[in-house]
Amino acid sequence: MANHKSAEKRVRQTERRNEVNSRNRSHLRTQIKKLRAAIEGGNREEAQAMLGQTVSVIDRSIQKGVLHQNAAARHKSRLTSKVNGMSA
């Protein structure tokens, strides 16, 4: 356990940041799962609508430090190609 005042403060800060990061990561994963479910369900209109929302969540994740820029680009590319590859 922390023995110094500054170390105790650092523990409190780390716990708060950990909670915020967990919340943001969970929101990101949930949004991606919803989009993948729409793609698997074959609902093109819903998938198209959710794609914009999901890309927005992914972009915000980059800014918040939840996701690396290259990993985000990979997610966006794969999801977009799946949505565009759906039959009309």
Q: For the residues 21-40, what does the mean pLDDT come to?
A: 96
pTM for this entry: 0.84
Token pair 């990101």 in the structure block, residue: 28
Interatomic CA distance for residues 64 and 62, integer angstroms:
5
At residue 88, does pLDDT exceed 70? no
The CATH number of 5-84 is which of 3.40.50.2300, 2.60.40.10, 1.10.3720.10, 1.20.58.110?
A: 1.20.58.110
At residue 25, does pLDDT exceed 90? yes
Tokens representing 8?
Answer: 């105790």
At residue 2, does pLDDT exceed 80? no
Tokens representing 29?
Answer: 């994963």
Q: For the residues 24-45, what does the mean pLDDT come to?
A: 94
- At 52-67, the pLDDT tens digits run 999 999 999 999 999 9
Domain boundaries, the chain: 5-84
The one-letter amino acid code at 62 reads I
